[in-house]
Structure 1
């Protein structure tokens, strides 16, 4: 199918407004990455302090800590996504390092593999060639089905399934590297089957060849290295508790928030009309949503699809300019995430 129609910014914005929202800052991306890790540190060590004070206090505080951590882990993934678009920093090398190490590696993603995968999603949004179509195609679904998905996320089942597939391919990739085996153009069907699942943050980009398996091995290697560094910091400063809180959030709340965010972006939208303003949904987000399912302005997804050269920190301004220009009636805008979830169940 042909690529989806793109919006023409010259028909939407004044030249000075367009220049303002697309100008990349040399410090905002770095500051957002630092912010994400500062919140992680405060949450993990605050949770550890609660457990050290009293086990009852620890039990009471832990759900809130896991919610905050899951939200920042999603936030790091969102910043990696901005890096995939070249929007974290105007210098390409700095941008790619920020997107590969302190953001992508923390949650097990590879910036470069994700970039190729994700740009295909933008090119063929909600069409047969869209690699993200499996995220929105099942909706609307039954309330029971959605509840089962949420339970699998919060009990670690989703995390285990995804990591098992990723690590299986990484093991094959490591074997290829040890044998110095290069790509011969033939598909590695075992790796392909293991990774033929829907990617949601870049951690399981579909791989069906030797070089792809090697990429997955490197991705897992970076992920494990970051976890070892976090564990070392945890043990040096406080003991096991901060790291266990981080890891538990990665296996539970991160997965849940990731799913809700994915549902909100495209499920049950009228994409396919040929109007680029219908390709995604924007969801209004309050304080709690911004701390959990919508960090770093990711809720402005319609704006991102319309103008993917706008960095995340300028999406809210883009939204306001679209409102001033009278474009809201053409867009899919939901008042909150509860409203979105009500729309996607039948």
Structure 2
């Protein structure tokens, strides 16, 4: 009975998340002038080849997620199969989509890898290193986009400087803390304690000790992961290269949607940069799937390209990059649970 209640609660949370996100999209479509009419007009002239390219780019991102996890898994266990890594990646996409701040993705990947036969410590190392490498590549990618497209977006996007500075600063601080912690745990502890006490003095942090314990435990995960994974430069470079391709393909999806609408003239590099900024800004929205924040930031950065077709573009973009993750991630979660039940019963 308790197990059934737990499952019901988990499913109810997913349902509420989906209703919330769909409700936001429908609100935009039905309450903005010409939203539905524009969608109907575009549907008649939609270039399906470009739309297929957007779908294939999303599928390629799924495969690359599995590939990156598999590179790290095979470093620990040479006989590890790609199918297991791919399943773990898809389950990670599912729980990232239905939990606030995408906090459920990494723990569920660790749980999945452990259920597949990997040692818990190894599973934690794989997921921690994968997360850190992806975060580093994302920040470097964003810095490159800022360097090359700064003037363009400052001119065309309201509050661009504030949004990018907050996003880049937060991510850079996190990465710097992790790296410093790996190099010198004592130095990091002193900096962390001093910073939290200073914030507490200015009434910006209510419980500095509790906050310290939480941050320290998170940093410790990466520290332990780096020791277990070792110092293999070719391995990390391979994962970084794959992550860069993954981010590029994901960032091309809005451009493919743009071309499927029979629109021309926009720079592909500018649209890639816009999607990178959308990803960084929406990551700080506390709702599951960044609901509301993802749509708003897409509107902010892509409104100048899609103009009156911006809301149909948001709908297609969310279908391909968000709802598909839930549907297909759910399928793999169901298959994985069945396989584990069969294995346990043997």
After TM superposition, the score normalised by the length of structure 2 is 0.31
Query: Which structure would you say has the larger Rg?
Result: 2
Q: Which structure's residues are more often helix, by fraction?
A: 2
**Greater relative CO (CA pairs within 8 A, separation 6+):** 2
